[in-house]
Amino acid sequence: MALATACGSSPEPDVRVEEFDLRTEIDIEAAVYAGPLYAVGSTSVIEESGTSWDLGVPLHGIAYVDEAGFPAVLAVVGDGGYVALARYGYNSGGFQEFTQEPTNIEADLLGVAGYFEMKDQLTLIVVGEDTLGVGQGIPEEGPLVWTATQPPPGGWGHLRDIRLEDDDVCVLGDAGALFCADVTTMIWGRVELDTDENLTRFCGGLRWEAVGSNGTVVIRGLPAEDTSVWTTAQVGSVDLVACSSGFSAAPVVVGANRTIYEVVDPTHAQRLVTLDWQPLTFDRETGFVMAGEGGHGGYLVEVKSY
């Protein structure tokens, strides 16, 4: 079933997708814009020019960690607690090699986020099946030290994605699971949502929307930009697999039917464009670069008439 469409009086949006090819045929699971676009799928990390690194492990998540004064890091995660890092080389002008980080994690990892503290200390937070792990250290001085975060009563459940902005970090997963913490304390609390749908992905861009199964959209800060309030909307019955903050306050969501919609109110979404390939992720930096099945990519562009 398609998502509900907006009222007939709403104008048809003038939107197009400028497509590009990542020079691979694998399905892209996650991507991040770090100058060029970097993406993960199957066992490979792919840079948009076609350069790739086969790490030999199924990969599911990627993060770009950048802070003034520190060499940037690309972190990727995958099956069996796999974590690998690449440091930016100023002499080489890019990321050259990925090094596996030994962890004490056995679960398959689906999401990763990170930040730098003083003295070049890197903190990574990873999520997976009933797992939330934290790794800390200075990469040039040796492996990160990994600790498992104490789960809440009932456990974490199946965590699928993580978002970190400034000192605020949240994770989400199946059966309406949503947990948030301040990174300075790492004390996690569950956010009670009015849904038990599986939540699949946080949006990129400025806001904190998330999407899930059966047309579920979760929005933080409504009403009145109160970040302690999370509102759940149902905009149809199509499973939503990715999202962006959109061209305005309205999130842009991607259905499992290859269609991109703009959520215009808590019960309706307006179709923007349907593609002949399935987008699976928006990058977190720009919020408008997408990638998906068969190595396809695209930029979501709003066309305005003057």
**Model pLDDT, residue 275:** 95
| 177-181, 293-297, 299-303: segment of lowest average pLDDT | 299-303
User: Residue 53 corresponds to which tokens in the numbers above?
Assistant: 């690194």
CA distance 283 to 281: 6
Contact call for residues 98 and 64 (beta carbons, < 8 A): no
CA distance 148 to 105: 8
**Model pLDDT, residue 288:** 85
Angle of CA points 28, 31, 36, to nearest 5°: 115
Contact call for residues 48 and 20 (beta carbons, < 8 A): yes
Distances (CA, A) of 219 to 130, 179, 214, 279: 24, 14, 16, 21
User: Residue 220 corresponds to which tokens in the numbers above?
Assistant: 């933080």
Contact call for residues 192 and 184 (beta carbons, < 8 A): no
Average pLDDT, the chain: 88
User: Residue 84 corresponds to which tokens in the numbers above?
Assistant: 């690998």
pTM: 0.91
pLDDT tens per residue, range 231-255:
899 998 999 999 987 666 678 899 9
The residue-averaged pLDDT of 2-10 equals 39
Phi/psi class of residue 268: alpha, beta or left (left: φ > 0; alpha: ψ in -120 to 50)?
beta
HSE-up (13 A, CA, CB side) for residue 253: 40
User: Residue 119 corresponds to which tokens in the numbers above?
Assistant: 């003295």
Range 70-74 contact pairs with CB under 8 angstroms and sequence separation of 24 or more:
70/116, 70/120, 72/34, 73/114, 73/122, 73/139, 74/32, 74/34, 74/38, 74/45, 74/98
pLDDT tens per residue, range 191-234:
999 999 999 999 877 678 899 999 999 988 776 677 788 989 99
* Statement: residue 101 has pLDDT above 90: yes
